[in-house]
Structure 1
Amino acid sequence: MNNDNIKIDKNRRRYKEDKIDSEKKLYKDKNLLIIFCITLTAVLSVTSISPAFPMIAEVFNVSDTKIGLLITVFTLPGVILSPVIGVLADRLGRKKVLVPSLVLFGIAGTSCIFAHSFRALLSLRFIQGIGGAAINSLNNTIIGDLYNDRECTIAMGYNATVLNIGTTAFPVIGGALCALGWYYPFFLPLVAIPIAILVLFILDSYDPETNQDLKEYLKNTAQSLKNKNIILLIITSCLLFTIFYGVYMAYFPIYISRSFNPTPLQIGIILASMSLTTAAVASQLGRLSSKFSVKTLLILGFSLFGVAFLIIPVIPTIWLLFIPTIIYGLGQGITNPMIQSTLARLSDKEYRGMVMSLSSMSIRLGQTVGPLLFGLILTIFGMNHVFYAGVLLSLIVALAILNISSDNKTTTD
């Protein structure tokens, strides 16, 4: 190993020396606890304000269709800026990108309380989304920097568990704050400021020490992206969220409402069962990955999606919908953290920021395309065919995963 590589690895080696011993639980590690805080910050950006949408629509006199722009303008910067964020994180260091992003996220998000028009609110959400774009990709990048092999998989699983706890809890917190006024949920992004301070002074992270110029870096990054497994996993990540946002998030609640005439609380309880199941399964990902290959787990996950969607149209009573939501949660708890941990392990640390940012961009793309694609299917063929199309796409992805080659990084034994 040359001197440059020794210098590049010194942060990780020093970290590993005083990090977790064989008896200590990974989830107690201070770095992972800070990463959990980063993840929760990213999650609250949408889930905490969604209960306020009806009030915001009334206050600013906008239609239900336009209120969805509060999500679109926030996620759009992630599609556009993710490659740039990846380059900056690899060239400048993770903290130098993440800390200002957290500060921007906190300031712009909280400034929404001062918006006096819907256009101003959308502008502030867009600026907040610029900060959020980095937060969503760099938390997984840092996990890949700090943890190797099976520890990386376990850490990704724990992080996915925390994420799903957040998606369950924040709508309740946001709904409670809405009782005080539509703008109260927008105070929550302030937590990003103290988290930025923790990242700056306490979090261990990889800082590049390389003599590569930008041209050489881009050339080497492009070379690393020729890895077939990386490309397949990024595409799989996009399709995972195309299915999730297109079938489950966008149209499953509408199906429940039209088919069973439930209360909003009943819909919320049914949807929350998926998140809780996902959290429980993701927390056990380390054990699963020690027994099964990445390929096997991903095929299992997408197959579970297909089973869940297949039985939804034949469920006769509302409470039996817990069966497909729990099945779907099992698949979700396996697939997303498994994809992210494998991408982190496959990518060289000098280019990991770019790889994980491209994965984040693919997720944002899936979140955007999914509702449009399955909305078109709904318009042409009807609601039941939305679920049947979800079955078909899930099985196609499961078959495509067979093309992932098995090596020492796509197996976790």
Structure 2
Amino acid sequence: MQANQGKANIFAIALIPLVMVLGNSMLVPVLPTMKSKLNLSEFQVSLTITAFSLAAGLIIPLVGYLSDRFGRKWIIVVSLIIYGIGGIISGFAAWSLEKPYMIILIGRIIQGIGAAGTSPIAMALIGDVYSGAKESKALGIIESTNGLGKILSPIIGSLIALIIWYAVFFTFPILCFATAVFVWIGVKEKKKKQGKPLPEYLGALKQIFKQKGKWLVPAFFVGSVGLFILFGVLFYLSEMLESEYQIDGIIKGCILAIPLLGMVITAYITGAKIKQNKPLIRKIMIFGLLLLTASMLTVSFFKQIYLLIGFLTLGSIGTGLLLPCLNTLITGAVEKAERGMITSLYGSVRFLGVAFGPPLFSWLMKISHKTVFFSMAGLSLVTLILAFFFIKPSKNSKGESEKNEQLSTLFKKREKLTTT
């Protein structure tokens, strides 16, 4: 019975990042069509990604505090409903208005506000429900479902756009409302004491950054850059496939999914293998950044489609190595009472990375292909240096991790015996 409940928990939680990521990734293959139909500039169309991600990035810290104070589950459910409402607003604007662009952006901002309470809070919820190797495995699963959403969404977006381009906006509420119901029924959140009042809470947060900020801040930055490059590359590839190679529709969606497939498989394997072994986590993280840097540098010399997709896939594999490692380090950095705020701050900077990717890539694309990828190679190199010299959380051996997990299990069993 407990095993079935555990599976229901992780399945329901895994749906949250899957739905969240559709907010941007499903729209990516539709952007060139939107640009044409609404007579928009490249920069204007990129703002439909930025509006969503920037709103989410700014709201996430507040939502993180609320989840620590009052519980994760109801925050996630309400957020999914808001997310769906934003999709309805954008969809009806595109359907019924002669000049819908500004209302579409407002709808996207509302969607972003809803998205703030999804994936980052799901990460904190996993930290509450699981511990030790199970926690890192669960984090790997949600990073993988996040990536799975990125793989499926270009294909789904391309298919839905065959009906009419703005139909994607009406897909969001269907998925969000269904997931909200499933999370409400399927997730069993552990009872916890009410969180600290805001002044005390901020004081505890300040103390965390005083003690661990030397590696936490660089870790936040590295995670943000990983998502910045990923979504910038997707935006670039979507534009290139249509403008340079005249590839559109479902074939385009499938091509956009190839680099993301490499990331998903890698993230899942990495999350399952790293457990709480911090020296191993650090090595994998450094190797992932090396791979990302090398791929960005190499792709700057090639524009041929097969080589382009191949090297971008290698870069995505590097991102797949990186993200589960950062997730495990950051969620394990603090006590459960402050975990929602820390993971939300991390989610915030990740969203900000996504927000600035498309418009900055749009600007760099006007200069040259080499400018785009030399810049990304340089940025990746900076994150590699930061990770190597600064992301050094307190070390623990594999044996110590397993011992801590065993002790945790024994304490849980003892608590059950006491209560029964």
Query: Normalising by the residue count of structure 2, what TM-score does the alignment of the two structures yield?
Result: 0.82
Match of 1:15?
A: none
| 1:47–1:371 Cα change, 3 Å | closer
Show the counterpart of 1:285: 270
- Following the alignment from structure 2 to structure 1, what is the Cα–Cα distance between the partners of residues 121 and 195? 23
**Displacement of 1:331:** 0.6
Larger displacement relative to structure 2 (28-37 or 198-207)? 198-207
Corresponding residue of 2:392: 405
CA distance in 2, matches of 1:410, 1:207: 31
Cα displacement (A) at 1:352: 0.9
Check 1:354–1:316 CA distance in 2 against 1; reply closer, same or farther (3 A cut).
Answer: closer
CA 399–355 in structure 1, closer or farther in 2 if over 3 Å, else same: same
Specify the alignment match of 2:10 in structure 1: 32
Residues 1:256 and 1:48: Cα distance change in structure 2 (over 3 Å): closer
Task: Say yes or no: does 1:304 pair with 2:291.
Answer: yes
The residue aligned with 2:348 is 361
Inter-partner Cα distance in structure 1 for 2:223 and 2:332: 16
5+ residue gaps in structure 1? 1-17
Unaligned runs of 5+ in 2: 403-420
Moved more, 201-210 or 79-88: 201-210
| DSSP-derived class of the 2:188 partner | coil
- On the 8 A contact 2:147/2:260 being kept in 1, the answer is yes
Identical aligned pairs, as a percentage? 26
Matched residue pairs, number?
A: 388
RMSD: 2.9
In 2: Cα distance, 1:371 partner to 1:107 partner: 24
- Please list the CA deviations of residues 211-248 of structure 1 after superposition, one character each: whole Å capped at 9, or x if unmatched: 733211111122122213322211221222233334x2
Match of 1:93 in 2: 71
CA distance in 2, matches of 1:185, 1:377: 28
Paired residues of 1:112 and 1:186 also in contact (CA < 8 A): yes
Partner of 1:212: 196
Match of 1:386 among 369, 372, 375: 372
Task: Tell me, yes or no, if the aligned pair for 1:285 and 1:334 is still in contact at 8 Å.
Answer: yes
Alignment deviations for residues 124-159 of structure 1 (CA, whole Å, 9 cap, x no partner) = 222122111111311212122222122222112222
Give the Cα–Cα distance (whole angstroms) in 1 for the partners of residues 111 and 237 of structure 2: 29
Residues 51, 355 of structure 2: 8 Å contact kept? no
* Runs (4+) off by over 6 Å: 255-258, 409-413
Alpha carbons 1:140, 1:344 under 8 Å: kept: yes
Q: Deviations over 1:55-109 (max 9, x none)?
A: 5445545444323332222122112212111111111111231111111112331
- Give 2:223's aligned residue: 237
Assess, with a 3 A threshold, how the Cα gap between structure 1 residues 324 and 209 changes in structure 2: closer, same or farther. Answer: same
Given the superposition, is the C-alpha separation of residues 30 and 306 from structure 1 closer, same or farther in structure 2, using an over 3 Å criterion?
same
1:152-208 alpha-carbon deviations (Å, 9 max, x no partner)? 221122222222222121222222222222332222222211321222233122554
1:358-381 deviations in Å (ceiling 9; x for gaps): 11111122223344555665666x
Residue pair 2:29, 2:253 contacting (<8 A) in 1 also: no
